[in-house]
Amino acid sequence: MPLCPLVRCLLPLLAHTADDAVNPFEHMPFTSPTFREILMLAPLATDDPEEDMHSDILVDIEGEGDQIVDAAQGLVLDNVKLGQLKVPVASKLSPEVLLLANSFYRDWLWPKIKEYRAAGQDTNYALDRIDLPKVRKGAPDMTGSDGGFSCYRIVMQTLMNREGGVMDIVEQVMKRAGVTPAHAWLHLREENRLPPGKSKVDDYEVLPPQSATGYVGPQVVDVVAETLFGPEALTPSGKVIRLYAEVGNVLVRRAWERLWRKLKTAVGKSKELYERFDLTLKVAEDLGTDAAMAAAVLAFRQWRVDGAEKTMEVEDVNFKQAESRLGQLCHELGYDMYGQLNRAGKRTAKKKEQKKRKAISKLATEQDIAASQDNYEAFCEALRPPSPGVEPGPARNRFDLLEDYGDLGMKDYAGRSVGEMFADLGLPGATYFPFGTSGSNPEKPISMMPHQVAGTSAILKRAFTGDQDSPALPTFLCDDVGLGKTAQLLGVIQMIAHMRQQQEYHPSKKLVPPPMAAPAGKNTPYFAGLDEIPNLPHLLIMPRTLSDQWTSEIDKFTTKGSFQVVRYNSDQDNLPRFFSSGDYQKAAGADGRRAGRVIVIADQSRLLGFDRQAIDTQAKNCFEVPPKKGCMAAQLKLAEGDPTQLKRRQKTMVAGNIWDQRFATVIYDESHNLRNDRLTNLASIIISDHALLRIAATATPLFTGPKDLCGQCRVLRFSPFIGLQGQNLYKRLREMEKQAKKDWDDEAAEVISDAIDDGAEDDLARVAQITEDVRRRYDSGDQKKILQTQFIHEESIETVRELILPIIVRRTCDSKDMDGKPLLPMRRYKELMAWSPLSSEEQAVLDMVNKVHDEHVQLRKRGLLFDPKVLVWEDFLMG
């Protein structure tokens, strides 16, 4: 039976479209966020929000607006990804071609299928009997006489075959599963050599199998279907729906054909390069000169890079024998084979290493783990007091360390030495945290600075409660850049792992617990209200750009084997079931016995021009985007911070997903990214709700509105911002801002006048000219609205700030150590404002830009078509 053409393989999914549906684009697969992203379609729209007085800035000046569309619009492409395509590819996807492609699927094909259904036939029967218009290769028919099929054909071929598109993803799944024509070819070559010494034909005469039959099983097909169509392709029990598996099967077989054609060409090339290498090697064996050896080594490298790596022969025994033969000859003649190979391939290898680095999890061996435990035992033995039960001595106030320097959360640590603070942690005499390291260089040992130990201790104190069932208090760590937030946060994880390890020891072997972990004189800590610290992993969530830095810092501050570092990122192919398979299962052990020593580094963020990162993608795949409406009920629901507010796309998620996983600690680095109510940030509330200790870290604790602060505090599950308290706070802030809006009407002129005076006072000699320039600036509606926003939010921001102060830990570069010296000596920077008057031509251009901007603002307000790029100036200085 002939295989379904690629452009037709999605059409059977129309079987899931209801008979009374008017527009098939409003149904699967075009409503799947996963599929839309892979096919390069724009994300689906939510309800337009009404103007919310409780928002950060009323003018979108930060560039966070996403391109969003309605499913009924059909094939609307993601503008960012479209701009990344090469010009010849992008030119095939013109608006006119897309319009006709949409018309074919919606207006030509779907009505015909409905006619067959009305006659009692199914979708497959209809597709078999509907004669699709004949199309010619080349340019599509732009007259529409073919119903738009030629345009649909070109669009689907282009989108599915593009780099990073559907077919690339299918091939990636097949390669990871080891079921490609290259894998099958190597297997046939091995069979051809059996029994040894009686090969039937030469290795290169063995033909790669043209068909996937017998090589690709249903498991691979199911993974392809789930990867392409997301959770919508699964039944409630987690199995792939048959219809999606059938589409996956077509795509796998088409991918096999594509890979087979590439392999066939690569095999011919590899044979040619191998014969050249074999010839140069024989010459080198005969002559033994450096020139002959250099020619043989370079011929080998060319065979490997341009041939064997593409055919996977590098894994074949014959390739390894050839490499060994060359290496032995180089050794006998004293020729540096690998030195030349390394020099020739250094640049290529470096690029490949950088590309692979983010996908690699840092898994320690069993030997590393055992050695780490020995180091920990030695660490504890060195700290064990000569007689059990000796409590750490009281701290002495030596110096008023932090008073009057703007530090927050440090009152209990003023004037204390490192030794005193380690003693308060139950580690008298220590200079670094358990499972830590003193460094590899004895001349420059790694030792914790006093403010870093104080920061870790302050966070841990919030984790322990005097009552059972009381949640831990979260922490905002807002230290200036360079003060070591990473070391402090790792210290928290190390201390939690240490205290959990102590739980398992016999009383005679235990260290004296720190006071924070021994309420009411008992040796059982109430960690987040629990009798014992559970065996749960730690989760670090951060922008992808910081993940390598965190991995490096973990290596620096902890002994090898102490913690297993697992990467939760878009390079992993098992994200929906990450915590029940793959690297995590290897790290935690099949029974999860080592889960408390696992650190999961997860990517969260989306930068302009890049695909969504792991948590963003999973949130989009698993939850429906909530409608954004400015009504009071919706705002109160948001203010409540209920972790169940998001509606799951599937009632039952597969086992091992991140949304059902519990964590001992969740840490949000660069937490200011959580400042709005995007789907990902709302989904982060679910992660935090399943974590016992929540920490947010940012070096930029600057907020433009109460929404910034409230959103982050809801993610941290801080009680004044969630539940009934959160709703009451919202009402209180709303009343404040309502009153401020009324006051603005009376005071606006004075506020704007003051702003103009402030802008002009820096240069008295040119005050008249500058005043006029600034006045022109405030003639802009946007500038006035920004001033209005600042005025309206002023009191509510201060109210929210007062509520957050108890959970903030902050030191600045001006903070002093015990000797009265700055924690981080830095040259003070001076802020200067320089005025550069615009020429008449520059002013004319600016006026024109502002005019066009205002026109599109009005178009958006009236619900008419507008250009988002006009509303948000993105990289306009780099154009």
Instruction: Judge whether residue 624 has pLDDT over 60.
Output: yes
pLDDT in tens, 453-463: 999 999 999 99
DSSP lists the bridge partners of residue 667 as 540, 695
Output DSSP code: residue 470: P
Contact 401, 817 (CB under 8 A): yes
pLDDT in tens, 176-215: 889 999 999 999 998 888 776 665 788 888 899 999 888 9
Structure tokens at 47: 């309800």
Residue 750 domain-assigned (yes or no)? no
> For residue 828, which amino acid is it?
R
Find the mean pLDDT for residues 874-878: 42
H helix or E strand, kind and range, residue 244: helix 242-287
pLDDT at 747: 74
Instruction: Judge whether residue 776 has pLDDT over 80.
Output: no
pLDDT in tens, 506-535: 888 888 888 777 655 444 467 888 888 999
Look at strands 691-697 and 663-669 and give their pairing. parallel
Find the mean pLDDT for residues 660-674: 90
Q: How far is CA 753 from CA 740, 747, 844, in A?
A: 18, 10, 25
Find the mean pLDDT for residues 155-183: 92
Structure tokens at 2: 């002939």
If you average pLDDT over every residue of the chain, what do you get? 80
E strands, 329-480, are 475-477
Residue 394: band (very low, low, confident or very high) from pLDDT cuts 50, 70, 90:
very low
pLDDT at 521: 47
DSSP lists the bridge partners of residue 809 as 477
Q: Give the torsion through C-alpha atoms of 67, 69, 71, 73, to 10 deg.
A: -120
Instruction: Judge whether residue 868 has pLDDT over 90.
Output: no
Find the mean pLDDT for residues 838-849: 83
Q: 560 CB contacts (<8 Å, ≥6 apart)?
A: 364, 368, 371, 372
Q: 124 CB contacts (<8 Å, ≥6 apart)?
A: 12, 15
CA distance 203 to 478: 63
- The residue ranking higher by pLDDT, 593 or 788, is 593
Find the mean pLDDT for residues 212-233: 91
Same-domain check for residues 173 and 77: no
pLDDT at 874: 45
Instruction: Judge whether residue 52 has pLDDT over 50.
Output: no
Domain ends where: 162, 180, 210?
Answer: 162
Phi-psi region of 545 (alpha: psi -120 to 50; beta: other; left: phi over 0): alpha
Q: Is the dihedral of CA 73, 78, 83, 88 positive or negative?
A: negative
pLDDT at 523: 44
Q: How far is CA 425 from CA 349, 429, 594, 692, in A?
A: 46, 11, 24, 20
Same-domain check for residues 322 and 209: yes
Structure tokens at 222: 């199911």
DSSP lists the bridge partners of residue 694 as 666
Same-domain check for residues 559 and 431: yes
Same-domain check for residues 353 and 396: no
Structure tokens at 220: 């691979």
pLDDT at 614: 83
Q: Hey, is 603 helix, strand or coil? A: strand
In 702-816, which ranges are continuous DSSP H helix? 706-715, 723-760, 767-777, 781-804
Instruction: Judge whether residue 342 has pLDDT over 80.
Output: no
Tracing tokens 């015990």 back to the chain, one arrives at 818
**How many helices and strands, by DSSP H and E, does the chain display?**
30, 7
The arrangement of strands across the sheet holding 538-542 comes to 564-568, 598-603, 538-542, 663-669, 691-697, 475-477, 808-809
Residue 848 domain-assigned (yes or no)? yes
Find the mean pLDDT for residues 21-27: 92
Q: Domain total for the chain?
A: 4
Instruction: Judge whether residue 605 has pLDDT over 50.
Output: yes
pLDDT at 56: 42
DSSP lists the bridge partners of residue 77 as 41
CA distance 201 to 286: 28
pLDDT at 826: 62
Q: Tell me, what CATH number does 522's domain have?
A: 3.40.50.300
Residue 94 domain-assigned (yes or no)? yes
Domain span holding position 213: 169-357
Instruction: Judge whether residue 426 has pLDDT over 50.
Output: yes
H helix or E strand, kind and range, residue 809: strand 808-809
pLDDT at 648: 86
Q: How many Cα atoms within 13 Å fall on the side-chain side of residue 728?
A: 5
Residue 724 domain-assigned (yes or no)? no
Domain ends where: 701, 735, 770?
Answer: 701
Contact 462, 525 (CB under 8 A): no
Residue 833 domain-assigned (yes or no)? no
Residue 744 domain-assigned (yes or no)? no
CA distance 233 to 34: 10
Q: Give the torsion through C-alpha atoms of 739, 741, 746, 751, to 10 deg.
A: 120
Residue 429 domain-assigned (yes or no)? yes
Residue 441: band (very low, low, confident or very high) from pLDDT cuts 50, 70, 90:
low
Contact 72, 23 (CB under 8 A): yes
Look at strands 663-669 and 475-477 and give their pairing. unpaired
pLDDT in tens, 303-325: 989 999 999 998 888 888 888 88
- The residue ranking higher by pLDDT, 654 or 551, is 551
Output DSSP code: residue 77: B
The values of phi and psi at residue 69, to 5°, are: -135, 170
pLDDT at 688: 94
pLDDT at 780: 54
pLDDT in tens, 78-124: 888 887 888 888 888 999 999 999 999 999 999 999 999 999 999 99
Share of the chain above pLDDT 90, in %: 30
Share of the chain above pLDDT 70, in %: 79
In 209-241, which ranges are continuous DSSP H helix? 218-229
Residue 610: band (very low, low, confident or very high) from pLDDT cuts 50, 70, 90:
very low
Structure tokens at 297: 């080594």
Contact 230, 35 (CB under 8 A): yes
CA distance 282 to 622: 60
CB count in 10 Å sphere of residue 178: 12
Same-domain check for residues 176 and 280: yes
The 3 state secondary structure assigned to 120-163 is CCCHHHHHHHCCCCCCCCCCCCCCCCCCCHHHHHHHHHHHHHCC
The values of phi and psi at residue 113, to 5°, are: -65, -40
pLDDT in tens, 449-488: 888 999 999 999 999 887 787 899 999 998 888 888 999 9
pLDDT at 334: 76
Same-domain check for residues 299 and 401: no
Q: How far is CA 792 from CA 263, 448, 781, 785, 797, in A?
A: 66, 44, 16, 10, 9
For residue 200, count CB atoms less than 10 angstroms from its CB and return exposed for 0-12, middle for 13-18, buried for 19 or more: exposed
Instruction: Judge whether residue 706 has pLDDT over 60.
Output: yes
Contact 450, 416 (CB under 8 A): yes
Contact 654, 578 (CB under 8 A): no
CA distance 854 to 184: 62
Residue 471 domain-assigned (yes or no)? yes
Q: Which has the closest alpha carbon to 172: 313, 81, 38?
A: 38
CA distance 122 to 114: 9
DSSP state string for 659-711: TS--EEEEEEETGGGG-S--HHHHHHHHHHHTEEEEEEE-S----SSHHHHHH
Domain ends where: 642, 669, 701?
Answer: 701
pLDDT at 76: 92
Instruction: Judge whether residue 613 has pLDDT over 80.
Output: no
Same-domain check for residues 299 and 372: no
pLDDT at 284: 87
Cut 0.85: pTM above it: no
E strands, 510-591, are 538-542, 564-568
Q: 648 CB contacts (<8 Å, ≥6 apart)?
A: 622, 623, 624
Same-domain check for residues 294 and 404: no
Q: Hey, is 437 helix, strand or coil? A: coil
How distant is the alpha carbon of residue 630 from its chain centre? 29
Instruction: Judge whether residue 501 has pLDDT over 80.
Output: yes
Find the mean pLDDT for residues 431-459: 80
Instruction: Judge whether residue 333 has pLDDT over 90.
Output: no
The lowest-confidence range among 62-71, 278-287, 399-408, 611-620 is 399-408
Instruction: Judge whether residue 166 has pLDDT over 90.
Output: yes
pLDDT in tens, 730-768: 889 888 888 888 887 777 677 666 665 665 555 555 555
H helix or E strand, kind and range, residue 484: none
Same-domain check for residues 612 and 681: yes
Query: Helix crossing, 723-760 with 632-640: angle to 10°?
Result: 100
Structure tokens at 472: 């831990």
CA distance 355 to 359: 8
Structure tokens at 251: 């795509």
Q: How far is CA 869 from CA 410, 510, 851, 853, in A?
A: 46, 62, 14, 10
pLDDT at 63: 41
Same-domain check for residues 408 and 471: yes
Instruction: Judge whether residue 382 has pLDDT over 90.
Output: no
pLDDT in tens, 564-597: 999 998 777 778 889 988 889 999 987 889 999 9
Same-domain check for residues 143 and 205: no
CA distance 255 to 258: 5
Find the mean pLDDT for residues 772-783: 54
Same-domain check for residues 152 and 192: no
